[in-house]
Amino acid sequence: MIKRELYKKTIRRRLRQLTALLGVWAVLVGGRLISVQIAQHEHWRAQADRQQRRAIRIAPVRGTIYDRAGRELAKSVEAPSIFAVPAEIEDVEHTARELARVLRMAPGTLRERLSERRDFVWVKRKVSPEEAMAIKALALPGIHFVTENKRTYPNGGLAAHVLGYAGIDEVGLEGIEFTYDREIRGEESTVFVFRDARGRTYERKQRPVAHGHDLILTLDATIQFHTERELSEAVRRTGAQSGVAIVLDPKTGEILALANAPAFDPNAFARASEAARRNRAIRDLYEPGSVFKIVTFAAALEEGMLRPNEIIECLGGRIVLAGHTIRDHRPFFRLTAREVLEQSSNVGTIQIALRLGAERLAHYIERFGFGRRTGIELPGEARGIVRPVRRWTPVSVGSIAIGQEVGVTALQMAAAMAVIANDGVWVQPHLVRAIRSREGKVVKRSNPERRRVLRAETARALATLLEGVVERGTGRLAQLSGYSAAGKTGTAQQFDPRTRRYSKTRYVASFAGFAPVTDPRIVVLVALDHPRTRYFGGEVAAPVFKRIAETALHALNVTPDRPQQRPLLALRANFASEGTEGEWGLGDSPAETENGLHLSSLPAPGGGGNAIVRERQEAVLVRVPDFRGQGVRAVTEHCARIGLRPIISGSGRAVRQEPAAGTLVVRGTTCRVEFQ
């Protein structure tokens, strides 16, 4: 009995001990569970995610860049990218060999990547659809695909120096793409790849991407295309080292075209040379030469120190300043101020500058914006070189008056000419009209700086003088068909740092002007660096101005202010010929003839008459092609080949056109093509 009681007490004691032990164990386990599941929840969850899930960052979808008419200049498209999970690869050698064959990559490079002790490696990003299909067909273990976004430029090299380009991670590296990267870029996306305990992929999820804002540019794709074409042809024809052409609206400061030669394709920017990618229009400095005389004349007219018809002594085309001789290209003696500008007399211009003095001349150079950036929305714009008056030499007032001893950009010079065309008001050149959200809401509009430089009367008086340059002076080859024009030629010797003298073989030939004179709609600047055939601005740059200006005015539907010349019929007989600048038209005066042939005497189609006349009449007639189904670039190139002036609306493929296909028209006729 006693033994039984002792046994029961022992059992109860041991049960209490076990219960206590279990209680302590339960408390410890519960505490640990609370610690792991609550206090350390995020830590262990993150560790589990690292083991089971791989996050792949995907570049954002950049906004689309449009021209002023809504045509796409840059956009993002989906592109497959290939990655590998090395743990899943069964045969590294075979996999590397097959991938290298399709992707045209080095087998050794791929073998090294696929052998890494990592759970994720890129094989090749943003491959072509054909490459992706070929790799998928191989069904290689451990090789996977993810959809990324790729920046593409559907028009190839069109406006490349304005647009710039984006890198492999969709980050803007140059041009508008760089300046507005924050607005265009949007937000990154993430692809989550889930794996089991053996490291095998069993699921993939992608977070939706956030699109960036769209940009509406001031560029006109049609004008840009023709400007690039004419500039490239001029560089080729003259053997120039490079060239720049700018078209802008003087009233708004909107740049309609900005072209550089040589050019490049932003779709393959890495293969282009640094020289081809350089935006010379805003980065390269040059001495403008005689085009800069507009500043000297503007200052003298504004200060009341010059009358257009007063006589200027030109001293036989030779003047000496502080022992330094400056000559004219011809021995002028007594010219009116009007003729000084028309004939581009250096001596006459210096005589006017001496009246002004260094202080006044420097003041107007600053007012026109030289020596500081215009503020255009592109990276790397140069300030130019304008020395303070205290550093001028006794020769400087004469040299600077004729465009030496100063360094300007092409854009600065175009903006200065725009002051004359805009009644004396400088308007900041700009490229972006608006920033728009993906929903179509305008987020921001351009608000360019404006400031008055000259009185309106002064600007109009100078515009009349510049019209004389085109009508009677050195810029006669810049005369337009159907439109009045004004401008100034420039032939600037380049300074040779080796000899510390101006070169006798290297020049910058330029022309800057505007049209129509009565109501200027465009300013056009053309500059050719080191042309090797002819080098006078009036010979090599003025004809390029003519062709670009005529195309731009027609594209903008500007009404001719000289209707008696019938601009749509006053066409170049040798439109497709090389190296000729002649015009022949249906004018009324003997001046509007060429080679002694009065075109008003042309017989009606099908009639009799001189065989030469009939041959030349046929030379200006073309049949309108059927553009339906073609892309924008194909249509514009076709029009350029046969001499039609395209006006493009919409994007995609051509669906309608006017005139109709098969219509016989005169070269230069405007052809409207609608795309969808």
Instruction: Tell me which amino acid residue 276 is.
Output: A
Burial of 90 (0-12, 13-18, 19+ CB in 10 A): exposed
Q: How large is the angle between the packed helices 221-238 and 542-555, nearest 10 degrees? A: 160
378-392 in b/e form (b: 16+ CB < 10 A) is: bbebeebebeeeeeb
- Token readout for 189 is 């996306």
Among 395, 293, 295, CA closest to 346: 293
- Number of C-beta neighbours around residue 266 at 10 A: 28
Residues near 360 by beta carbon (within 8 Å), at least 6 away in sequence: 299, 303
Contact 296, 352 (CB under 8 A): yes
Catalytic site includes residue 651 = no
Residues near 223 by beta carbon (within 8 Å), at least 6 away in sequence: 247, 256, 257, 551, 552, 555, 556
- How far is residue 647's CA from residue 649's CA, in Å, rounded to a whole number? 7
Q: In 3-state terms, the chain is what percent helix, strand and coil (to 5)?
A: 40, 25, 35
Contact 335, 349 (CB under 8 A): no
Whether the bond between 659 and the residue before it is cis, its omega within 30 degrees of 0, is yes
CA dist list (Å): 521 to 252, 399, 422, 541, 561: 10, 32, 9, 20, 12
- How far is residue 417's CA from residue 601's CA, in Å, rounded to a whole number? 40
- Number of C-beta neighbours around residue 376 at 10 A: 23
Q: Which of 76, 189, 290, 345 is catalytic?
A: 290
- How far is residue 242's CA from residue 275's CA, in Å, rounded to a whole number? 9
- Token readout for 337 is 């101020």
- Number of C-beta neighbours around residue 433 at 10 A: 19
Instruction: Tell me which amino acid residue 619 is.
Output: A
Residues near 596 by beta carbon (within 8 Å), at least 6 away in sequence: none
Residues near 244 by beta carbon (within 8 Å), at least 6 away in sequence: 231, 259, 260, 261, 280, 281, 284, 410, 525, 526, 527
**What stretches of 338-454 adopt beta strand conformation (E)?**
425-427, 432-436, 442-445, 450-452
Q: Which helix (H) or strand (E) holds 504?
A: strand 501-515
- Token readout for 667 is 């070269």
DSSP 377: S
Task: Please identify every residue annotated as catalytic.
Answer: 290
